[in-house]
Structure formats: C-alpha cells, structure tokens
Amino acid sequence: MWGIIATWRMAVEGITKASEMLKNGGNAGDAIEVAVKEVEDFPYYKSVGYGGLPNEEMEVELDAAYMDGDTLDIGAVAAIKDFANPISIARRLSQESVNNLLVGEGAEKFAHRHGFERKNMLTDRAKIHYHNRVKEVQETEIKPYAGHDTVGMVCLDSAGKMTAATSTSGLFMKKKGRVGDSPISGSGFYVDSEVGGASATGLGEDVMKGCVSYEIVRLMKEGMHPQQACETAVNLFDKTLRERRGKAGDMSLIAMNNKGEWGVATNIEGFSFSVATEGQEPIVYLTKNVDGKCIHEVASQEWLDEYMRTRTAPLVEK
C-alpha cells in the first residue's frame, strides 16, 4: 500500500506527481519532496514558496520541515529568505547529526554552502497583495494576518516508509523573525513509520499550544483510526482553547497511518485537502465540522475551476 495526503487544494498537482513515483516503487522521501516543491514553485499560491506573501517589512521569510518516519530524523528551516525550495534544504538538514533546525542567516549560509538555488521569492503580485493589505488594514476591520495556507503532507511508500513535510510563508504581515508551527516538530508535523503521521495548517501560535500533530500520532498509536484521531485531537483542543482563552485559532489537520488509511479534521468552514492512495486517484475534498464530525465531500469541478480562477485572476493595486 502507498498513499499521500496534503492540506489544501493547492497540493493536488504535487501529490499527482508524487503518486506516479509511489506507483513505480519510489520512496516516500523523494515523493514528498517532489510534491512540496511543486507547490513551492507555483507562483500563484500566495502562502508557500515563490509568490508567498511577505512579512510586515515586505520580505518573504519561509519556514519548512521534513521528517523521516523510519529514523525519526528531522530537518527544518525557519525565516529563510531568497532560496527557491526550503523543503529541499530542510530535507538535507535532516541528514545532519546535529544542527537540524536552522533559522534566518544561518539557514541561508547552510543552503548557500550546499549549492541550493537562490531566488528572489517576492513576486510583483505579492507586492500588490502587500500594498493592498496595508490599505485594507488602515481602512477596515480586517486583521493583518487573514489569509494563509500552509502545505503539510504525510506520505507512505510501498516499502512501508513514511515521511512528513511542511512549507509555508507563515502568516501574511507577520513580524520579521516570527516562526509558526510548520517547522516545529510535533506541532506542524510528526511521523513515525510504525504508526503514521500528521500535519497542520492554521494559526501556528495556537497549534503549537497543543502539539496537535504529535497528539494525533499518539492517538493513532493507541489504536484510533486516523479520522477518529484527527477529530478527537482537534475537537478537544479547540474546546480547551475556548475554555481557557475564550477563543481558538483556525486549525486543520491531515493524517495517514501506516496502512494508508487517512483522516482529516478542522475547526473552520471550507477546508480543502488532497489525497491519493493505491486505490484512489488524486482527488480534492472539502470538509466541514458538523457537531464534531468532519464530513468530507468531493470538490466539484465548478469549485475547482473557481479556485484556480480566483488564484490567477489579474490583481490591481487599490
């Protein structure tokens, strides 16, 4: 059995490429890296890689992580600038015995020394988004951070190896140097080939308070199906946050176990995810939380077309 699951519709082209590799006996490390790179390279996805939205100072600072579920090796970069594929740098860092999570200048030095491709990640389109947001924030109630989607994936290959990966530009208009959950083990991702893996998208500051990805893997280890593990962890933690803090940030998690069974849970409206397994061609679902149960529905062609249309629509500066 092989499989790959990812947050959001934007991952479907990537997991389609990965599933071709997995079908042909490819390994979960290569497949997940190819899948994430596809999302990083696409200029119209405004919260991952090239075209990602900048921080308050109009700089694109990126976070990414890679985890090997066999060895439990982890590599991650945070607040890295001017490199094309943070996921590849994170994967390379996972092979080091120490210094596995590097930030800012240190991460850039490592990437440069190891020959990773440099690229100015700030596109003209992202600059327009930035200028428009500055105006909106001044004129309306809109929160500077609104609008952010991280790609998080879990992959299983036919040899039973599992991996997890994340890549993001974090929150739009974040403070310089701000790091979210995505490069943090247990929060943005976790995977153990003997059990399964999970990954998150949402408000990193809140996801980190509950180490939600690790919690899902722990519940799967206790015997829960990934769907039950995701719902249990997300519902419980959402409730805890509301009780203790009066509110809970957006939180959506995907998971897969080592049998290729998967699950998804969210506390927001309209979370989309992409999945492919040996028995299932790449597909996009939309999910919603109805009284604690997450109901998944195949995305219609109309929805898919509208998604691409709005992502690529011409943008004018306000």
Q: Does 168 bind ligand SD4 (CB under 6 A)?
A: yes
Residue 226 is given by DSSP the state: H
Our separate counts of H helices and E strands in the chain read: 9, 13
Question: Is 7 labeled as catalytic in the residue annotation?
Answer: no
Q: Which of 7, 123, 150, 266 is catalytic?
A: 150
C-alpha closest to that of 294 among 268, 258, 274, 276: 268
Under the criterion CB under 6 A, does residue 181 sit at the interface with ligand SD4?
yes
- 3 state SS of 71: coil
Q: Toward ligand SD4, which CB reaches closer, 125 or 178? A: 178
Q: d(Cα 152, Cα 64) in Å, to the nearest integer? A: 9
CB of 298 to ligand SD4, least distance (A): 22
Q: Count residues contacting ligand SD4 (CB under 6 A)? A: 13
Nearer Cβ to ligand SD4 (182/277): 182
The reply on whether position 210 binds ligand SD4 by CB under 6 A is: no
209 binds ligand SD4 (CB under 6 A): no
CB of 174 to ligand SD4, least distance (A): 7
DSSP 8-class letter at 9: G
Answer yes or no whether residue 52 interacts with ligand SD4 by CB under 6 A: no
Is 267 a binding residue for ligand SD4 by CB under 6 A? The answer is: no
Please state, in angstroms and rounded to a whole number, the distance separating the CA atoms of residues 208 and 244.
15
Among positive and negative, which fits the CA dihedral 35, 41, 44, 47?
positive
Q: Of 123 and 150, which has the nearer Cβ to ligand SD4?
A: 150
Q: Phi and psi for 274 in degrees, rounded to 5?
A: -125, 140
User: Which residues contribute to the site for ligand SD4 (CB under 6 A)?
Assistant: 148-150, 168, 170-171, 180-182, 201-204
Question: Which residues are the active-site residues?
Answer: 150
